[in-house]
Chains A and B, each alone.
Chain A
Amino acid sequence: AQSVAQPEDQVNVAEGNPLTVKCTYSVSGNPYLFWYVQYPNRGLQFLLKYITGDNLVKGSYGFEAEFNKSQTSFHLKKPSALVSDSALYFCAVRDTDNYGQNFVFGPGTRLSVLP
């Protein structure tokens, strides 16, 4: 079965500093990996995805993610954090069973960017 781990419940970073939100995965076959962000009282918003190709993926709002096959990781990064980046971040992997359409989500990491 597929699984996703986000080892940090909470990440604190000062505004202007680089940020990293960690994600590791376990999947049979090639991984299809996604990052989502959730602001208070809102649904999840898609940030970026890795399907194949370049290990560094660029997405919305200046975020990027680095895929590392040997470490089975897909860490989310941003060179300079903004206070408005404070939110809940979810990593997800596409299931390989059941039509291959379902997502398996990690537990989420709360990012706080301090002014």
Chain B
Amino acid sequence: NAGVTQTPKFQVLKTGQSMTLQCAQDMNHEYMSWYRQDPGMGLRLIHYSVGAGITDQGEVPNGYNVSRSTTEDFPLRLLSAAPSQTSVYFCASSYLGRDQPQHFGDGTRLSIL
């Protein structure tokens, strides 16, 4: 059972470039989310989805796009990379329900030069 798989693990971009961070889960979870982790700030929610075709903004959505065409996949798109988007990005998923823990991928480390 692979759980939550994120690709790539590392990426270096130049300012202005675009790219897509991939996230896939094989647990049939309805809920998926993207966070960024920055030192001393914990994890901040970027976008989330409660099912295929349904997405919504989190705390820090600017500069990012998402879509959810299938239950399994939830890609995160950087439209025009900026140095402020240098961070570690985590994807998480869970069943719906407030008592359900989220399962995390191992992250994508992104540097914007």
Q: Write the residues of chain A forming the contact surface with B, with a CB cutoff of 8 angstroms.
A: 9, 32, 34, 36, 41-46, 49, 51, 90, 94, 98-103, 105-108
Contacts and interface: CB of A to CB of B under 8 A. Distances in A.
B101 A46 contact: yes
18 contacts: A9-B40, A32-B98, A41-B107, A42-B106, A42-B107, A43-B104, A43-B106, A46-B101, A46-B102, A49-B101, A51-B98, A90-B43, A101-B96, A102-B58, A103-B43, A105-B42, A105-B43, A106-B42
Query: Which of A90, A99, A100, A106 has the most chain B CB atoms closer than 10 A to its own CB?
Result: A99
A107 to B, nearest CB: 4
B25 interface: no
B99 A99 contact: no
Contacts of A43: 4, 90, 92, 104-107
B74 interface: no
Query: Which of A41, A43, A107 has the most chain B CB atoms closer than 10 A to its own CB?
Result: A43
A77 to B, nearest CB: 19
Interface string B41-74: 1111100101000001010000000000000000
B40 to A, nearest CB: 6
B42 A108 contact: yes
Nearest to B105: A43
A112 B105 CA distance: 24
B101 A90 contact: no
Contacts of B103: 46
A34 B102 CA distance: 10
Nearest to B33: A102
Contacts of B104: 36, 43-45
Contacts of B105: 43
B98 A103 contact: no
